[in-house]
Amino acid sequence: MPAAIEVRKVPIHSVADASELATLIDDGVLAADRVIAIIGKTEGNGGVNDYTRIIADRAFREVLVAKGAPADQVKQVPIVWSGGTDGVISPHATIFATVDVPEDDPSRAEQRLTVGFAMSEPILPEEIGYVAMIEKVAAGVKVAMERAGITDPSDVHYVQTKTPLLTIHTIRDAHSRGQQVWTEHTHESMDLSNGVTGLGIAVALGEIEMPTDADVMKNRDLYSSVASCSSGVELDQAQIVVVGNAAGVGGRYRIGHSVMKDALDQDGIWEAIRSAGLDLPERPRTADLDGRLVNVFLKCEVSQDGQVRGRRNAMLDDSDVHWHRQIKSCVGGVTAAVTGDPAVFVSVSAAHQGPDGGGPVAAIVDLG
C-alpha cells in the first residue's frame, strides 16, 4: 500500500528560488528524501524556449540534495513545470511528499490522496502526433495508477504529464533516419504533444476507445476530464504523475475534479472543490473555503469557434499576442477570483483535455 501524502503549496520568489521548499524541510513539515513529486508554475514565456523551467528544476533539485536526499534518487523525482504566469497568476510550486500515518488512524478507512509516478518508453519525434505515442502514454498511466494503489479509474482525478515536443534538432534527427514528422513548426508541436498525451490518458482510464491518427487535433469530442499535459525540450519520454484517492493510505488530503465548460465557468471550479470533499453552500464564496483549499490545477484552451458564450473574441486572429497567453491570463483571473489566491496552476494548450473552449479542473483540499 502506498504511503500517505503531505502536500504543500509554496511561493517562488524569483526564477531560481527554492527557499520555501528548504523552509518546509527545516521546519520538519516534510523530509527531503520523501519528496515524490513537484508541480509548479514558472514566470517564463511558456514557449519552446522557456528556460525558466530548467532553472527552476535545477534549483529545487539542488535543495533536495543539499537537505540530505540522495542525488540519484533526486534525479528520478518527477518535477513538472508549466511556464508562463500571465496576468495575475503567481509563480509557485505544489510539493508532494510521503509521510507516516499510524495504522489505527481513522483516515485510513476513508479515501485519501495518493500519488503514483511512471515514465513511458522513449517517444521518437516521428511518433509525436500519432497512435504510437498514445499507446506509450496509456501504458505509462496504467503503471502510475498501480504504483498509486488505484484499481478503479474513477478514483483518478488528476494526471499531470510532461512530454517531449519537436525541436529543430529532433526534426532533423527524424529526417536523417528517413522519417517524417507531424509538423515542422516547433511551437505548434507543443499543442500537438499535449493533445496526443491527453488522448493517451483518456484511453488508459477508459474515457474513450483508441482513436485513429486522423482523430488527433481534429475530433475535439475525444478528451480526458482529468488530463493536464505539458511539454518541453528537457526530456524524451512521457513523465506521468497520477493523483487520486484510495482507501487504506490515510492522511489529511483528498482530491476531486470537474471540468470548466468554457473560459468563464466558475461553477466548474467550485464543483471540483466539492468533489474533493468540502461541504459548500449552493452559491459559495471564497470565504467558504476557510483556508482548506491547497491548490487547484486547470488546463485551458481557446474555443475553436472564436467565441465565449456566443460573444466573438479576437484571440485567434491576434498577431501581436499569441492566444496561449491571452486565454491563460483570462482563466487565471477567473480562477483567482474563486480561490482568492493568484497562486493557481493554470496551464494552456488543452487539446483533448476537457471540452473545446474549456478544460479539466482538479482540486486538493485539507480535510484536517
Instruction: Please identify which residue in the block is written with the cell numbers 520555501.
Output: 20
- Which residue type sits at 29? V
Among candidate residues 9, 162, 299, 328, the one labeled active-site is 162
Phi, psi dihedrals of residue 231, rounded to the nearest 5°: -140, 160
Residue 162: active-site member: yes
Among candidate residues 193, 224, 230, 258, the one labeled active-site is 230
From 96, 41, 342, select the one nearest 241 (Cα to Cα).
96
Task: Return the C-alpha cell found at 126.
Answer: 516521428
Residues 157 and 275: beta-carbon distance below 8 Å: yes
- Which residue type sits at 361? V
Please identify every residue annotated as catalytic: 162, 230
